[in-house]
Amino acid sequence: MPEYRAVRARLGFLALCKSPDAAAEVTVTAALRLGVDAAIVFADILLVLEPMGVGLEFTRGDGPVIRRPVRSGADVDRLTEVDPAALGYVAEAVKRSRAALPARVPVIGFAGAPFTLASYLVEGGGSRTYARTKALMATDPGAWRALMERLVCVVAAYLNAQIAAGADAVQLFDSWVGCLSPADYRAQVLPHVRALIGRVTPGTPVIHFGTGTAGLLEAMRAAGGDVIGLDWRVDLDAAWARLGPRHPARDPGRSRARAGRRRPRAVGAVACPRMGCCCSPSAGRRVRRRYVPSSRTCCAGGSAPFPPAESTKWSVTTRRSAAARR
């Protein structure tokens, strides 16, 4: 969007994340210009790692880099305890976004899930094989457990601060967890995700999202979450058949205009498409604006309009959680 690019022209990525005014501006502008049904606050999943003293940098072209990776129990012990105030700029961005948006538009906070954050710490940045992460899991389970437990504490506090600031729901991004086998996920990840979700402020809907997780959906359901997120590799029909109608599917790719236009047959299920994963940065505003009504049409089962907010499970859930906090 031109508005976002104008902000980025004067602020680097990390500076933008740390400016509550600017982060709220790009959050609210995108939501209102595109007419989406909910706004996700502008931030990054790795922000929680910076105050841990690992030398996080966002390098142009190479993405995030961890200058002091964590590859042993001693490295875990050296991690700095995170003061929640060190991440207060994200909560403030949530607060300002909530104040600026109409009450009918929910605000979604988010954080990286423990496995994905741990993988960044261990690998020192992006990876194709996650070899160091898997090696630590296999050769030093005590260090792995300590790292995951520490991340659970940090992420839970971070999400709850966003909820206290006005987030109507929160999402866990487990971007890299699809590299694991179901057995490794159940043994090394599931208990920690379950512990994290158990610490989230009661009554707040949790979206549990991962990529490449076609083989992990049942285990992710067991780990917890009110909504299980899918990527483009999983058909909604198949996911609902496996997970059941109690878990709405949040699918960032299947509701594109070029995807099928029939609604999966699952009583009580709700689809929550997400724009970020299926519109490339080069897509113009006209393309993005077409995405929103196309998604509503697909989710409603053809040409019928999307159900009004008051009738969807999503809105009922978020409205109740907001009422409970008040």
Identify the structural domains of the chain with CATH numbers, from first to last: 2-253 (3.20.20.210)
Please report, for the chain, how many H helices and E strands are present, in that order: 14, 8
pTM of the full structure: 0.82
Helices (H), the chain: 2-10, 13-17, 20-34, 73-78, 88-100, 114-123, 131-139, 141-164, 182-188, 190-199, 217-223, 236-243, 285-300, 313-325
pLDDT tens digits along 111-134: 999 999 999 999 999 999 999 999
Question: Nearest-CA neighbor of 182 among 212, 151, 143, 206?
Answer: 212
Note down pLDDT in tens along the chain; length 326 residues.
778 889 988 998 999 999 999 999 999 998 998 888 899 999 999 999 999 999 999 877 668 999 999 999 999 999 999 998 999 999 999 999 999 999 999 999 999 999 999 999 999 999 999 999 999 999 999 999 999 999 999 999 999 999 999 999 999 999 999 999 999 999 999 999 999 999 999 999 999 999 999 999 999 999 999 999 888 888 888 888 898 876 666 555 443 333 333 333 332 344 556 655 555 666 666 666 666 666 665 555 543 333 333 333 333 233 333 333 33
Task: List Cβ neighbours of 65 (8 Å cut-off, separation of 6 or more).
Answer: 55, 56, 57, 58, 59, 124, 125
111 strand-pairing partners: 172
Judge whether 321 and 168 are in contact, CB under 8 Å: yes
**Planar angle of CA 258, 261, 267, nearest 5 degrees:** 140
Judge whether 164 and 171 are in contact, CB under 8 Å: no
pLDDT tens digits along 255-299: 333 333 333 333 234 455 665 555 566 666 666 666 666 666 555
Neighbours of 256 (CB within 10 A): 19
